[in-house]
């Protein structure tokens, strides 16, 4: 007896053979054996697998799998080809460009922070210099070397700061608001020195404006004058990347004169 049947792959017809599907999830293919074996055993069971059987492998399924893998490989190749040129990865060059841009921005930020740091340091130096000068001059009260003490203190405090240039020093009688008596910027009660002359003992430089010499200051208890020191200076940026103009800055400090009952005008 001859039986025609089609296997599960749908691509091969077994003639003269009886096919029996094996109920085994690990063997999904159709198993077949000769009809003579079936005649010898008219009731073949699913637990018997003939050694002489042939496994029907679906070529169509294999070909379909190869085509899918080929299409996937080609798609991946095209995707890689978008980022390659001449066999070298363009992503590498892109990373170098991004790194160059990033490092340039970081360098500019570092230079800006450097300039701001120097500006802050110089400003603190001038603030300290004005306070020390005011204390030095106020402690000398009406002594002839009072201004010399102030000028020397300023020269010492600003000696190692190359970013600033002292343009003018004003030693003045301070009003209640801390500025010059008669208004900010006036010199009616002030001694004005150009630049940063410094001072050596007994060699006080002559002021360009002398309207408040030490001998004219009032240093009596409870009525003593308040002495102010104003420092005008120019700050020059240390880096020229940003091409910023120099800054004109003013700082001042005020201290009351040391009272002395022995002076003649008390």
Model pLDDT for residues 138-181, shown as the tens digit of each residue: 998 888 899 999 999 999 999 988 889 999 999 999 999 999 98
pLDDT score of 11:
43
30 within a domain of the structure (yes/no): no
Average pLDDT over residues 35-59: 46
Q: Does residue 259 surpass a pLDDT of 90?
A: no
Radius of gyration of the chain (CA): 50
Is 77 inside any structural domain?
no
168 found inside a domain: yes
Residue 89 lies in a domain: no
Q: Is 94 helix (H, G, I), strand (E, B) or coil?
A: helix
Q: pLDDT band at 10, cuts 50/70/90?
A: very low
Is residue 74, in this structure, part of any structural domain at all? no
> Contacts for 28-35 with beta carbons within 8 Å, 24 or more apart?
29/55, 29/56, 29/57, 29/58, 30/55, 30/56, 31/55, 32/7, 32/56, 35/1, 35/2, 35/3
CA dihedral 215, 221, 222, 224 (to 10 degrees): 10
pTM above 0.95, yes or no: no
Torsion of CA 38, 40, 43, 46, to 10 degrees: -60
Q: Considering the domain boundaries, does residue 144 fall inside one?
A: yes
Specify if 37 maps to a domain.
no
Instruction: Indicate the number of domains in the chain.
Output: 1
Give the list of residues 6+ apart from residue 112 with CB closer than 8 angstroms, or none. Answer: 242
Mean pLDDT for 222-230 is 91
Residue 237 lies in domain: 99-256
pLDDT digits (tens, 9 = 90+) for 88-101: 555 567 788 888 89
Beta bridge partners of 180: 174
Q: Is residue 11 part of a domain?
A: no
């Amino acid at each position: 007896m001859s039986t025609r049947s089609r296997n599960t792959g749908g691509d091969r017809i077994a003639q003269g053979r009886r096919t029996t599907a094996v109920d085994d999830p690990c063997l999904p293919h159709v198993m077949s054996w000769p009809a003579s074996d079936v005649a010898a055993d008219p009731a073949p069971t699913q637990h018997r697998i003939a050694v002489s059987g042939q496994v029907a492998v679906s070529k169509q399924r294999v070909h379909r799998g190869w085509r899918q893998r080929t299409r996937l490989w080609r798609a991946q190749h095209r995707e890689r080809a978008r980022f390659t040129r001449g066999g070298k990865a363009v992503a590498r060059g892109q990373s170098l460009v991004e790194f160059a841009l990033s490092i340039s921005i970081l360098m500019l930020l570092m230079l800006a922070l450097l300039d701001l740091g120097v500006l802050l340091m110089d400003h603190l130096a001038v603030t300290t210099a004005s306070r020390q000068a005011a204390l030095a001059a106020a402690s000398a009260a009406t002594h002839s070397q009072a201004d010399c003490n102030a000028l020397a203190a300023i020269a010492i405090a600003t000696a190692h700061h190359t970013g600033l240039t002292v343009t003018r020093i004003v030693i003045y009688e301070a009003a209640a608001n801390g500025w010059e008596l008669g208004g900010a910027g006036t010199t009616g009660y002030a001694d004005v020195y150009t630049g940063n002359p410094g001072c050596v003992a007994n060699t006080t430089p002559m002021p360009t404006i002398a309207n408040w010499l030490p001998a004219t200051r009032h240093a009596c208890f409870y009525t003593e004058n308040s002495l102010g020191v104003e420092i005008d200076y120019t700050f020059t940026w240390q880096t020229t990347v940003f091409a910023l103009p120099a800054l004109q800055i003013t700082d001042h400090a005020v201290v009351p004169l040391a009272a002395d009952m022995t002076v003649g005008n008390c």
